[in-house]
Amino acid sequence: MTTPILSLTNIAKSYPAPSGGVVEVLKSVSLEVEAGRSIAIVGPSGSGKSTLLNIIGTLDFPSSGSMVLEGQDMDRLGEAEKAAVRNQKIGFVFQQHYLLPQCNVLENVLVPTLIPQSKALQIAESRARDLLEQVGLSARLDYRPGQLSGGEQLRVAVVRAMINRPRLLLADEPTGSLDRAGAENLADLLVRMNRQQGMTLIVVTHSIPLAQRMDSMYSLVDGMLIPGNR
């Protein structure tokens, strides 16, 4: 068995309750994901799916447990190092597109490349154009987010997440705000990116059809991650 790209060991997350005590959102979650694989995490609302994804994406920190990404223990990293990890190794697709309204499509995709460690702008721009062509947005490069449909906006967000060739692509309810056709298109895109670009894909979703298109599926129930759909 190859070394997993991502390894979660006994991840737990709790919050203090207003009336005292704690609320345990995640209890001892463990997961290993091999490189290039795609997994779906499903579960009811409030089960902690987004919390788990935020922890994996270093946007949040676990109350206990450890996370290793490409052999790097995330607990040992400072904030700047985590930011670098998010920039270089992780791509995040949210339910809301969070595109910058003041930038056009091409510029929004290039936002992650303005950090010095990123690739040279020309290389990045060439890659951006390629990716946008792949997702069918080559004719929309100068459009502002307000001029795009919901599906187009999400496709731009996906390309933005991929611009720095991340090893791990995280998607949090990516189809939540789309209609059926749009959801299918976005699902196709994610799967295609996973296959073609070889990046590991973790999707948090309510959508069973989307989840079924992943290599494996986990359910998050009562703070525990259980393989399969329950």
Nearer CB in complex with another protein: 141/226? 141
- Say which residues have a Cβ less than 8 Å from residue 117's Cβ, sequence separation at least 6: 84, 87, 88
Nearer CB in complex with another protein: 121/123? 121
Q: Report DSSP state, residue 1.
A: -
SS3 213: coil
What minimum distance in Å lies between the beta carbon of 216 and another protein? 25
Angle at 35 between CA 1 and CA 12, to 5 degrees: 90
What minimum distance in Å lies between the beta carbon of 15 and another protein? 6
Bridge partners for 71 per DSSP:
none
Per residue in 61-98, is it b (16+ CB within 10 Å) or e — as a string?
Answer: ebeebebbbeeeebeeeeeeebeebbbbbbbbbbbebe
What minimum distance in Å lies between the beta carbon of 105 and another protein? 12
Structure tokens at 54: 């935020």
Structure tokens at 150: 């919901």
Nearer CB in complex with another protein: 95/205? 95
Nearer CB in complex with another protein: 102/196? 102
What minimum distance in Å lies between the beta carbon of 17 and another protein? 11
Report yes or no: 11 and 30 within 8 Å, Cβ to Cβ. Answer: yes
Contact positions toward another protein, by CB under 8 A? 15-16, 18, 54, 57, 59-60, 79-80, 83-88, 92, 94, 96, 98, 100-103, 107, 110-112, 114-115, 121, 160-161, 164
Nearer CB in complex with another protein: 94/218? 94
How far is Cα 154 from Cα 215, in angstroms, rounded to an integer?
Answer: 22
What minimum distance in Å lies between the beta carbon of 59 and another protein? 5
What minimum distance in Å lies between the beta carbon of 52 and another protein? 12
C-alpha 165 chain-centroid distance: 13
Nearer CB in complex with another protein: 4/91? 91
What is the layout of strands, in order, in the sheet containing 38-42?
90-93, 168-172, 200-204, 38-42, 216-221, 224-227
